[in-house]
Chain A
Amino acid sequence: MSSITDYALPNPVNQNRSGIIGRAVDRYEGPLKVSGTAPYAAEVKTPSPPAYGVFVGAEIGCGWVRAVDDVAAKAAPGVKLVWHVFDQPPGQGEAGAKSYVQGQAVADPVFVNPKVRFFGQPVALVVADTFENATAAAGMVRVSYEEDPEAEYEFQPADAAPAENDQDSAVGEFELAFAEAPIQLDEVYETPIQNHCQMEPCATTAWWEEGTVQVNTSVQMIKGPQHLVAETLQIHRENVHLMSLYVGGGFGGKGSSYEDLASAALASRVLRQPVKIVLTRQQMFNATVHRPATVQRVRLGATPDGRLTALSLMVATHCARNAPFIERAAAFSRALYAAPNRLTGHRLQLLDIAVASAMRAPGEASGMMSLEAAMDELADRLGLDPIELRIRNEPDKHPESGQPYSARQLIECMQDGAAKFGWNKRNPKPGQTRDGRWMVGMGMAAAIRGNFLLPAKASLKVDAEGNIRLRQGMTDIGTGSYTILAQIAAETMGVPLEKVIVEIGDSGFAPAPGSGGQFGAASAGSGALAGGMALRAKLTEMAIADPASPLYGAAPEAVEFRDGLITVENRSETLAALVTRLSPEGIEAEGSSSPAPDIRQFASYSHGAQFAEVGVDTITGEVRLRRMLGVFACGRILNAKTAKSQITGGMIWGVGTALTEINRVDPRYGSLGSQDLGTYFPPVHADIANLDAYFLP
């Protein structure tokens, strides 16, 4: 692709002749999932009975493992091995070593360092014949620690400092403009630590076949974990066959992998037996990652008629001492509203608690709360409708880079949604609308999220029955990747959906970036289209060159694919006939897509508006959602059903983020206060009343 504008050129997905692109097609893998037969990483059938690994978690927040008494554990029934820093797994690469220069991971050996960096960090592994025996023996491992008196567990925003690789963004003279602004708003907002709460915990099943380790794991991306296993086990990456066929929720938390991955492969290598390791729910909270807390200062300067003259969002947040990560809660604000003088940035405190990382719209989920609440405060001060205030500050180009927007339907989202939600019934004066003992209020917020396109490949193969098989190293974390890829393959090859087989989540397949931060469908889908176009070109070339084909001698640009046929005007044959005659074992082609070189010349974002009606119990203070509507403009919708599920799921997580989900560090131990779903509260059905969403064309 030479230019971003090429996306508008005719191609099968754009033309969508059969209408299958965008249709509310049921999930490709739905029957497997609802019948419990989709094999998740811990459920795959192993070639021989597996052993089960269970981790022992650190019982201090920061310090060193000084001794491990594993005598009782080793003598416990069924125990096959116990590993810890004094009895390490053999054959691991040096931490951080990288033999494959272009690889996406470094060696990450397990149990080689006595350092305890966070509470719950795996400090020992017990593998036994049954999960129960492994769990019982893990409870018998006695670990002695030396605590680090220098440990810091408590987030102190004042101690947060500028981070490497993260510059403040300054335009104009913010401080001056804010000081001179006729209307000034200066507010501080806080967000707590929150956890991903994937339904499926992280899990790995590994076994060896003729020098190759077969690894089934639950991750959002394929290549990084594959390379991690290779580097850690010091084997060639071709000898790591990594599969992540079904993923029971990622939300950013499976963008990284954890000790289960290498440990299962290592233990399987030593034991010459399949090994299965599943993190416990408590370990999912303690020993994976979380969204860090933030303290955000928003300053808005405005004219009395509601034009922003100064905008600042400064965010203090935290991450683990040895795992740099910035919850970039200010980044989106650089693209949302016009204001000539701007200052945004992040400050970071390094803590000795579990690793902070991406979670459910990293950055936006935390940061939009503060800026959008501040915009509402400002609207109230100005006596303006919150939507009108936002419209008055709509930029005509990216307010910091000056780039044109590739698309921008924010105002349309707000106005369309307002009409459907009944926004005009809102009483702008707080506390006026009552329903029995409930106070009822309406609110809205803008939504924005960057668009990230990454290179992707896909291979498509047509067999002698005319079936199309798509293979791609993509993942489906519950979003609908299987389904949209089937739709793209069907439309591109001109076959009905029933003729398409989608195989993804396998390191042996043409690579795609996986699932995460708004790049999955666009990147993998573009790769699938490219793969289909490559196969069309190959089939066209073969048909027009074959005297036995009715298309013999036709001009390639006149060839079309529809109804399972390859056709030119009134001449055609079935794909099955073509393949049967010329290459009965099937015909395969691989295509690749890359972002156009000029993609960075555009500011490219999805936009939306969300409206909520919320009740507050005037006796108890309980806050409950009463109804909610989201309107989104996200470009082409590939599947109305899976896209709506995803966006309403995102809204529900938003309700959790705003109302129910909170975790806290106990500063005496460095541990999280909530370690299970009995004390950490994602929203449940009863919290989600009357929630709906739609997309603008």
Chain B
Amino acid sequence: MRSFTYERAPDAAGAAKTAAEHPGARFLAGGTNLLDLMKLEIERPRHLIDVGRLPLAEIAETADGGLRIGAVVTNTAAASDRRVRTRYPVLAQALLSGASAQLRNKATVGGNLMQRTRCPYFYDAAKPCNKREPGAGCSALGGLNRGHAILGASEACVATNPSDMAVALSALEAQVETVTATGATRSLALDEVHRLPGETPHVETNLEIGELVTAIVLPPPPEGRQEYRKVRDRASYAGGLFSLALAGERMAMGAVALKPWRASKAEAARAAGASPAEAAEAELAEARGLGRNDFKITLARRVMAAALEGTPLR
């Protein structure tokens, strides 16, 4: 681990300002992803700005009947909040399907959004990776890529976003509130936060330099069924091979792309009267396997079709 300086941020705007002024600075909250990466020297921040004690740990009702979840609310606190559990079960289920109890106790919802891919080649500094070193090449493309993307990938990067929470938030059409380095606040749709890799997989979000997530805002819960189903190689504490968030008429998929994948094509097909299988096919028509992960396309079709048929998935 490289030496770094550390400060505890006085307030959110101050944190954002400081981050913009310090090239190579990183926000620290739960540290469950950043510290791992620092130990491996995948992340080498020169300055850490601790935002974990900012007064952003509240879950509050919004005027329109939704919830605002502060950025440093822990995953455990969010998942166990009665309002989240009863009104947004898909979110509680997604949170609880991520990581382990110990990690969820430390990890924050803001950090959850900002976590980096678990691609093993990203984690292995001995192998080329365009995320770590732009232009170096992607070793996953021709490698052991069973867990990799089937949608929205590029020659430069085939990694996936590891967040379960973000998949549920996509289906719930959550907004993400931030403060920028100038002190301005803004609100982005969850689906606008993360980027597909394109030619620049090292640019992972549409946030500006220094911009700090301050809250996740849930609109009023949608009518109808909510469910989160994560398919994985063991029953707990494992990254997903595929996941599906269902929130009323809306769906999003996880572990298929470098961002939570809102299934808007399937939703539209369904609204136009398509069968469950046809809707799933519409969403996955452009899916491309890399060889070892071809099974994910079939898996995604089957799970989505079953969900649309009303089969309980958990």
Q: A: which residues have CB within 8 A of B?
A: 57, 59, 77, 119, 132, 135-136, 139, 282, 436-437, 619-622, 624, 659-660, 664, 666, 668-669, 671, 673-676, 678-679, 681, 683-687
Q: B: which residues have CB within 8 A of A?
A: 1-3, 39-41, 100, 118, 120, 123-124, 126-127, 139, 142-144, 231-239, 242, 299, 302-303, 306, 311-313
| Chain B neighbourhood of A621, CB < 8 A | 299
Which of A77, A660, A664, A671 contacts B233, CB < 8 Å? A660
Interface secondary structure of B, over-half rule: loop
- How far, in whole Å, are A437 and B310 apart by their CA atoms in the complex? 12
Cβ of B1 and Cβ of A136 under 8 Å apart?
yes
Cβ of A136 and Cβ of B3 under 8 Å apart?
yes
- How far, in whole Å, are A624 and B238 apart by their CA atoms in the complex? 14
- Given A620-B242, A666-B144, A675-B124, 13 new contacts (CB under 8 A): A132-B1, A619-B303, A619-B311, A620-B302, A624-B235, A659-B234, A668-B139, A673-B120, A673-B144, A678-B123, A683-B234, A684-B237, A686-B237
Cβ of A136 and Cβ of B2 under 8 Å apart?
yes
- How far, in whole Å, are A505 and B242 apart by their CA atoms in the complex? 47
Q: A620-B231, A620-B302 are in contact. Are A684 and B236 (CB under 8 A)?
A: yes
- How far, in whole Å, are A676 and B37 apart by their CA atoms in the complex? 13
Cβ of A668 and Cβ of B142 under 8 Å apart?
yes
Cβ of B2 and Cβ of A669 under 8 Å apart?
no
| Chain B neighbourhood of A436, CB < 8 A | 312
- How far, in whole Å, are A686 and B97 apart by their CA atoms in the complex? 12
Question: Which are the 3 A-B pairs with shortest beta-carbon distances?
Answer: A686-B236, A686-B235, A673-B144
- How far, in whole Å, are A669 and B142 apart by their CA atoms in the complex? 12
Residue of B nearest to A120 (CB): B126
Q: List 29 A-B contacts (CB under 8 A).
A: A59-B126, A132-B1, A132-B3, A135-B39, A135-B41, A136-B2, A139-B2, A282-B40, A437-B306, A437-B311, A619-B302, A619-B311, A620-B242, A620-B299, A620-B302, A620-B303, A621-B299, A659-B234, A660-B234, A666-B144, A668-B143, A671-B124, A678-B118, A679-B118, A679-B120, A683-B234, A684-B100, A684-B237, A687-B234
A-B pair count, CB < 8 Å, reads 82
| Chain A neighbourhood of B142, CB < 8 A | 668
- How far, in whole Å, are A669 and B143 apart by their CA atoms in the complex? 10
Residue of B nearest to A664 (CB): B144
Cβ of B143 and Cβ of A666 under 8 Å apart?
yes
| Chain A neighbourhood of B40, CB < 8 A | 282
| Chain A neighbourhood of B123, CB < 8 A | 675-676, 678
| Chain B neighbourhood of A619, CB < 8 A | 302-303, 306, 311, 313
| Chain B neighbourhood of A136, CB < 8 A | 1-3, 41
Residue of A nearest to B143 (CB): A666
- How far, in whole Å, are A621 and B302 apart by their CA atoms in the complex? 10
Cβ of A622 and Cβ of B236 under 8 Å apart?
no
CB distance from A65 to the nearest CB of B (A): 14
CB distance from B204 to the nearest CB of A (A): 19
CB distance from B237 to the nearest CB of A (A): 5
Cβ of A622 and Cβ of B231 under 8 Å apart?
yes
- How far, in whole Å, are A678 and B37 apart by their CA atoms in the complex? 13
- How far, in whole Å, are A135 and B231 apart by their CA atoms in the complex? 36
| Chain B neighbourhood of A686, CB < 8 A | 234-237
CB distance from B276 to the nearest CB of A (A): 12
| Chain B neighbourhood of A620, CB < 8 A | 231, 242, 299, 302-303
- How far, in whole Å, are A673 and B118 apart by their CA atoms in the complex? 12
- How far, in whole Å, are A664 and B2 apart by their CA atoms in the complex? 31
| Chain A neighbourhood of B311, CB < 8 A | 437, 619
Cβ of B303 and Cβ of A681 under 8 Å apart?
no
| Chain B neighbourhood of A674, CB < 8 A | 120
Cβ of A678 and Cβ of B232 under 8 Å apart?
no
Cβ of A671 and Cβ of B41 under 8 Å apart?
no
- How far, in whole Å, are A59 and B236 apart by their CA atoms in the complex? 32
CB distance from A510 to the nearest CB of B (A): 42
Residue of B nearest to A139 (CB): B41
| Chain A neighbourhood of B2, CB < 8 A | 136, 139
| Chain A neighbourhood of B306, CB < 8 A | 437, 619
CB distance from B79 to the nearest CB of A (A): 16
- How far, in whole Å, are A401 and B2 apart by their CA atoms in the complex? 62
CB distance from B39 to the nearest CB of A (A): 8
Cβ of A669 and Cβ of B127 under 8 Å apart?
yes
Cβ of B239 and Cβ of A678 under 8 Å apart?
yes
Residue of B nearest to A689 (CB): B235
- How far, in whole Å, are A686 and B139 apart by their CA atoms in the complex? 33
Cβ of A681 and Cβ of B313 under 8 Å apart?
no
Q: A135-B1, A437-B311, A619-B306 are in contact. Are A685 and B120 (CB under 8 A)?
A: no
- How far, in whole Å, are A674 and B120 apart by their CA atoms in the complex? 7
| Chain B neighbourhood of A673, CB < 8 A | 120, 143-144
| Chain B neighbourhood of A282, CB < 8 A | 40, 124
CB distance from A301 to the nearest CB of B (A): 36
- How far, in whole Å, are A184 and B103 apart by their CA atoms in the complex? 52
| Chain A neighbourhood of B3, CB < 8 A | 77, 132, 136
CB distance from A411 to the nearest CB of B (A): 34
Residue of A nearest to B236 (CB): A686
| Chain A neighbourhood of B231, CB < 8 A | 620, 622
- How far, in whole Å, are A119 and B127 apart by their CA atoms in the complex? 11
| Chain B neighbourhood of A624, CB < 8 A | 235
CB distance from B32 to the nearest CB of A (A): 11
| Chain A neighbourhood of B39, CB < 8 A | 135
- How far, in whole Å, are A405 and B127 apart by their CA atoms in the complex? 53
CB distance from B10 to the nearest CB of A (A): 27
Cβ of B235 and Cβ of A687 under 8 Å apart?
yes
Cβ of A671 and Cβ of B299 under 8 Å apart?
no
| Chain A neighbourhood of B312, CB < 8 A | 436-437
- How far, in whole Å, are A135 and B237 apart by their CA atoms in the complex? 28
| Chain B neighbourhood of A675, CB < 8 A | 120, 123-124
| Chain B neighbourhood of A139, CB < 8 A | 2, 41
- How far, in whole Å, are A664 and B100 apart by their CA atoms in the complex? 25
